[in-house]
């Protein structure tokens, strides 16, 4: 594994999504391996007090790194939570020789820089059955289940949970104060969510409410799709290992969606509030734990939010072979 190969993999890793674009990852690079470490200083104490979403974000970064290395023709080994005495060490990745990449790995790796969260309105255009099947298979590849919500009764029940959770967070001073810290008017800020990344105000309130990201000055109201495709990443358990697996599954789904021409955004309120998450478990008939909820559909391209440079999140790069 050369320095060029690992730099390319780390550049892909930092493009993963994270709550409020906090980027809660650190990479410790050694001879032939990379350790993925949770940056606990970037866990959101109100929205994510137990670090579940932060671990998912790190799982997404791990998948990006894996796909980048595989697209470069390298065989990759990884182990989750390799040191019980160091819970912040989330994964260790090693390269074990050469191996030709599969076509889907190349396709997904190419989608990494094109994947962006899209909070704008989607077109009223259904997602084909074949694409839905592709997204389900993507989650299964990483040991999770993607529940595409198609039953009208279940859709309505989930939409009600989403609305209540979103209204609750809008009325929570602690949550709003935390969110404000991660909103940015500074174009050069390398983390957080720029105000321009938020969607325009709706003309009429849609069935599925989106998170409000600050003021909407300069944005003309627009109609949002009334019933976007909802997909929930579900795991059988709710341990740190499940969070890492679901983060990898989430990212593989998002990259597959990007490759299929879909846009996506997150409906996070319902999985951040304990009562709402418990309600989702009831709606899911105890089938598992909802880790993230995605809104999927077709829309115009959006600009990428900024990321911290690899040099700011990695250490010991001089130890890389080559």
Q: Give the domain CATH number at 185.
A: 3.40.109.10
| Nearest Cα to Cα of residue 93 among 85, 82, 101 | 82
According to the model, what pLDDT value does residue 215 have?
57
What does the chain come to in residues?
A: 322
Kindly state whether residue 304 falls inside one of the protein's structural domains: no
| Nearest Cα to Cα of residue 12 among 54, 52, 60, 56 | 60
Total domains in the fold of the chain:
2
The whole domain housing 251 covers: 129-297
Kindly state whether residue 121 falls inside one of the protein's structural domains: no
- 104 in the same domain as 58: yes
According to the model, what pLDDT value does residue 279 have?
96
Q: Which residues contact 136 (CB under 8 A, 6 or more apart)?
A: 145, 146, 148
Residue ranges, the chain, pLDDT below 70: 214-218, 317-322
Kindly state whether residue 123 falls inside one of the protein's structural domains: no
According to the model, what pLDDT value does residue 197 have?
84
According to the model, what pLDDT value does residue 218 have?
67
According to the model, what pLDDT value does residue 187 have?
82
- 220 in the same domain as 98: no
According to the model, what pLDDT value does residue 319 have?
42
| pLDDT tens digits along 51-85 | 999 999 999 999 999 999 999 999 999 999 999 99
Kindly state whether residue 212 falls inside one of the protein's structural domains: yes
Can you read off the two tokens belonging to residue 112?
């990494």
Query: What is d(CA 22, CA 15) in angstroms, rounded to the nearest whole number?
Result: 12
Say how many C-beta atoms besides its own lie within 10 A of residue 105's C-beta.
17
- 315 in the same domain as 257: no
According to the model, what pLDDT value does residue 304 have?
86
| pLDDT tens digits along 187-196 | 889 999 998 8
């Amino acid at each position: 594994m050369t320095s060029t190969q690992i730099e390319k993999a780390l550049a892909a890793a930092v493009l993963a999504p994270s709550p409020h674009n906090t980027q809660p990852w650190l990479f410790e690079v050694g001879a032939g391996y990379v350790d993925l470490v949770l940056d606990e200083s970037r866990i959101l104490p109100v929205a994510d007090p137990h670090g579940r979403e932060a671990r998912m974000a790190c799982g997404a970064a791990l998948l990006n790194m894996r796909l980048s290395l595989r697209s470069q023709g390298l065989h990759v080994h990884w182990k989750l939570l390799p040191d019980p005495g160091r819970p912040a060490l989330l994964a260790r990745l090693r390269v074990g020789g050469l191996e030709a990449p599969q076509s889907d790995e190349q396709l997904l790796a190419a989608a990494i820089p094109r994947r962006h969260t899209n909070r704008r309105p989607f077109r009223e255009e259904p997602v084909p059955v074949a694409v839905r099947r592709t997204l389900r298979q993507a989650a299964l590849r990483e040991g999770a289940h993607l529940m595409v919500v198609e039953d009208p009764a279940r859709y309505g029940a989930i939409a009600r949970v989403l609305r209540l959770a979103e209204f609750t967070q809008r009325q929570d001073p602690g949550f709003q104060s935390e969110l404000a810290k991660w909103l940015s008017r500074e174009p050069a800020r390398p983390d957080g969510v720029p105000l321009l990344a938020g969607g325009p105000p709706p003309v009429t309130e849609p069935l599925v409410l989106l998170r409000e990201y600050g003021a909407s000055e300069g944005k003309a109201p627009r109609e949002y799709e009334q019933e976007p495709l909802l997909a929930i990443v579900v795991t059988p358990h709710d341990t740190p290992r499940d969070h890492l697996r679901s983060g990898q599954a989430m990212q593989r789904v998002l990259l597959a969606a990007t490759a299929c021409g879909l846009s996506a955004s997150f409906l996070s309120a319902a999985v951040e509030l304990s009562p709402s998450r418990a309600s989702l478990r009831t709606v899911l008939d105890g089938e598992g734990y909802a880790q993230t909820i995605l809104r999927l559909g077709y829309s115009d391209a959006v600009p990428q939010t900024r990321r911290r440079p690899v040099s700011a999140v990695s250490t010991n790069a001089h130890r890389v072979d080559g």
